[in-house]
């Protein structure tokens, strides 16, 4: 009797376990949507966060970023420098591509060369590289022209593709735009990542399925992922409410409140690493668009200070951004290496009289007039922010004539020309995230160093701010491998541009994501969306 009871309990337990397993194996389809499609399945087609991070669901990099953007081993189990100009990467053993073929050093060397080859848009990650070669089947050795402490950080964006597959399908290089021929890798994929590409209909839908043979232990429970681009934000929100999709990002600020009230929806907000800032032309002897002739008011630090301290970023946050911004006084955001928390304090706002007096001291008792350029489809509420700035500066007697236009016209106008001569702007808005390295040096190099044709620094320093002392520090930190020394250089350089009022940092915009209540996911600050952390309950 007792025996049979035990037996039946055991049976029940087995049955339960079986049942449990059956429900675990149940198909978990995750449907999500964004405003635009991934432009290609080729992971080297664009240096663009969305493309790079979407393809990372299919292709693994050597080193990947975790939830907090810190580096962790992926296809490389170990990496480091044997001397200042030599790096090694040890390849993870027993990793298989989606077609079952094993990963070797050949694939890694091939992929790195493809990413640095014709048609690729990732070549800027390889500027310091002299040679990439394999050392045995499971190790890759890279020599650089000069010490490059950020090589591993840059390469966290470079994923690994199957060499045999690319060769078989005539996709050894990325698509060449000047030829009218299709590149196989534009629509197909062969990586080692957590998901496999099942269906790709550009502009319509992209379907991924779980890779059961992934080398890492999955933290997700998805069997299938369907991505659909939906351009109209109202439709995206309606689809989420109707349950036709499980998650969307780029939620319009106006919809956030109504979504928070919906019991079946979860809203996640967090700061994005991109900093939106204003820049001033400090290069030309006379501004292009101003009533001040014969001199450039922005060359005067007092003028820059008066303007900086008259722009109320908290008011912009309250009114224009509906609370969805994180005001800052630095050109890099928390989470980026080199962010200095103790320097991130905005100086006190000036009363209009005080600011006017400061302008009068600088020689502009009646203020002045200046043109301002602003995009109207690039950053969250970009045009409205500029309008707010116009109103704030009107109070101190600076009359700003705003010209807001679509990004493709806007960037062509304000960015520096091919020969690095200044673009056509006096006062402008830009946003920047060091998405390549997650390190402050990228910001110094691109935005703050003196524009220089031979060293190629300061390419995006549209206002032409120049400080030789800062240039020296930035050059030093580029090759400094000693962390303490480097941090010191960063601190000094940061203080220089802050004290100079070189730029007017405004804020980090908020990333607003929304999902159904039964979805668990991770929202990294770099605007990537790793599917490997998604769970459907």
Residues that bind another protein (CB under 8 A): 33, 36-37, 39-40, 42, 45-48, 121, 123-124, 174-175, 177-183, 186-187, 201-205, 228-232, 234-235, 238-239, 241-244, 377, 406-412, 415-420, 432-433, 435-436, 442, 446, 456, 459-460
Contacts 24+ apart (CB under 8 A), 229-234: 229/33, 229/34, 229/35, 229/36, 229/37, 229/203, 229/204, 230/33, 230/34, 230/35, 231/35, 231/36, 233/35
Least distance between another protein and beta carbon 467 (Å)? 21
Query: What distance in Å separates the CA atoms of residue 363 and residue 299, rounded to the nearest whole number?
Result: 12
Question: What residues contact 421, with CB distance under 8 A and at least 6 apart?
Answer: none
Query: What distance in Å separates the CA atoms of residue 267 and residue 261, rounded to the nearest whole number?
Result: 10
Helical segments of 156-215, H only: 163-168
With beta carbons less than 8 A apart as the criterion, state whether 189 and 58 touch.
yes
Least distance between another protein and beta carbon 276 (Å)? 13
In the bound state with another protein, the residue whose beta carbon lies nearer, of 248 and 310, is 248
Q: How far is CA 26 from CA 23, 29, 223, 536, in A?
A: 5, 9, 8, 11
In the bound state with another protein, the residue whose beta carbon lies nearer, of 433 and 466, is 433
Write out the DSSP string of 260-283: HH-TTEEEEEEEEEEEEEEEE--S
In the bound state with another protein, the residue whose beta carbon lies nearer, of 318 and 413, is 413
Least distance between another protein and beta carbon 171 (Å)? 12
Least distance between another protein and beta carbon 184 (Å)? 11
Give the closest residue to 398 by CA, choosing from 360, 346, 429: 360
With beta carbons less than 8 A apart as the criterion, state whether 160 and 62 touch.
yes
In the bound state with another protein, the residue whose beta carbon lies nearer, of 262 and 488, is 262
With beta carbons less than 8 A apart as the criterion, state whether 151 and 142 touch.
yes
Query: What distance in Å separates the CA atoms of residue 420 and residue 438, rounded to the nearest whole number?
Result: 25
Structure tokens at 112: 């790195």
Least distance between another protein and beta carbon 351 (Å)? 37
In the bound state with another protein, the residue whose beta carbon lies nearer, of 34 and 104, is 34
In the bound state with another protein, the residue whose beta carbon lies nearer, of 7 and 406, is 406
Least distance between another protein and beta carbon 230 (Å)? 4
In the bound state with another protein, the residue whose beta carbon lies nearer, of 86 and 113, is 113
Helix axes 233-242, 253-261, angle to 10 degrees: 10
In the bound state with another protein, the residue whose beta carbon lies nearer, of 185 and 470, is 185
Query: What distance in Å separates the CA atoms of residue 157 and residue 144, rounded to the nearest whole number?
Result: 18
- Half-sphere exposure of residue 368: CA atoms within 13 angstroms, side-chain side: 25
With beta carbons less than 8 A apart as the criterion, state whether 151 and 87 touch.
yes
In the bound state with another protein, the residue whose beta carbon lies nearer, of 19 and 146, is 146
In the bound state with another protein, the residue whose beta carbon lies nearer, of 92 and 416, is 416
Least distance between another protein and beta carbon 359 (Å)? 33
Burial (0-12, 13-18, 19+ Cβ within 10 Å), 24: exposed
Least distance between another protein and beta carbon 294 (Å)? 30
Write out the DSSP string of 59-101: S-BSEEE-TTS-EEESSEEEEEEEETTEEEEEEPTT-B-TTSP
Least distance between another protein and beta carbon 216 (Å)? 28
In the bound state with another protein, the residue whose beta carbon lies nearer, of 143 and 173, is 173
Least distance between another protein and beta carbon 241 (Å)? 5
Least distance between another protein and beta carbon 522 (Å)? 24
With beta carbons less than 8 A apart as the criterion, state whether 143 and 85 touch.
yes
Bridge partners (DSSP) listed for residue 510: 271
Burial (0-12, 13-18, 19+ Cβ within 10 Å), 164: middle
């Amino acid at each position: 009797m007792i025996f049979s009871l035990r037996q039946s309990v055991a049976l029940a337990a087995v049955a339960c376990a079986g049942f449990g397993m059956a429900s675990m194996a149940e198909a978990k389809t995750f449907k999500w949507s964004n405003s635009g499609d991934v432009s290609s399945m080729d992971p080297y087609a664009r240096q663009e966060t969305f493309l790079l991070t979407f393809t990372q669901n299919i292709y693994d990099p050597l080193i990947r970023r975790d939830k907090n953007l810190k580096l962790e081993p992926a296809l490389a189990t170990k990496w480091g420098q044997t001397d200042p100009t030599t790096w090694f990467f040890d390849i993870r053993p027993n990793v298989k591509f989606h077609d079952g073929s094993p990963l070797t050093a050949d694939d890694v060397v091939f992929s790195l060369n493809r990413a640095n080859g014709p048609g690729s848009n990732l070549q800027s990650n390889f500027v310091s590289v002299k040679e990439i070669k394999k050392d045995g089947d499971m190790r890759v050795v890279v020599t650089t022209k000069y010490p490059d402490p950020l090589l591993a950080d840059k390469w966290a964006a470079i994923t690994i593709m199957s060499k045999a597959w690319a060769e078989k399908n005539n996709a050894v290089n990325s698509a060449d735009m000047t030829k009218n021929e299709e590149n196989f890798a534009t629509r197909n994929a062969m990586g080692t990542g957590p998901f496999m590409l099942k269906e790709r209909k550009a502009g319509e839908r992209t379907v991924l399925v779980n890779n059961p043979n992934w080398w890492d232990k999955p933290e997700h429970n998805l069997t299938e992922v369907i991505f659909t681009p939906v351009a109209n934000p109202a439709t995206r929100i309606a689809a989420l409410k109707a349950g036709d999709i499980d998650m969307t990002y780029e939620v319009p600020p106006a919809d956030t409140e109504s979504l928070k009230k919906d019991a079946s929806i979860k809203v996640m907000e967090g700061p994005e690493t991109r900093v939106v800032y204003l820049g001033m032309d400090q290069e030309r002897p006379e501004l292009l668009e101003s009533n001040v002739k014969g001199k450039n008011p922005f060359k005067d630090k007092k003028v820059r200070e008066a303007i900086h301290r008259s722009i109320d970023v908290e008011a912009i946050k309250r009114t224009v951004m509906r609370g969805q911004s994180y005001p800052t006084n630095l050109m890099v955001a928390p989470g980026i290496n080199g962010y200095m928390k103790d320097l991130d304090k905005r100086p006190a706002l000036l009363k209009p009289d005080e600011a006017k007096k400061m302008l009068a001291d600088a020689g502009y008792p009646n203020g002045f007039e200046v043109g301002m350029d602003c995009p109207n489809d690039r950053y969250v509420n970009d045009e409205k922010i500029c309008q707010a700035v116009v109103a704030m500066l009107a109070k101190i007697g600076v009359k700003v004539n705003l010209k807001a236009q679509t990004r493709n016209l806007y960037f062509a106008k304000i960015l520096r020309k091919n020969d690095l001569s200044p673009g056509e702007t006096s006062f402008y808005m830009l946003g920047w995230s060091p998405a390549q390295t997650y390190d402050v040096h990228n910001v110094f190099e691109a935005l703050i160093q003196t524009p220089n044709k031979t060293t190629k620094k300061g390419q995006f320093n549209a206002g032409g701010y120049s400080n030789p002392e800062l240039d020296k520090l930035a050059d030093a930190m580029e090759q400094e491998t000693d962390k303490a020394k480097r941090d010191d250089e960063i601190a000094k350089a940061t203080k220089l541009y802050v004290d100079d009022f070189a730029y007017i940092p405004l804020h980090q915009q908020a990333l607003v994501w929304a999902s159904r209540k039964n979805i668990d996911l991770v929202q990294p600050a770099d605007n990537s969306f790793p599917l490997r952390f998604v769970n459907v309950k």
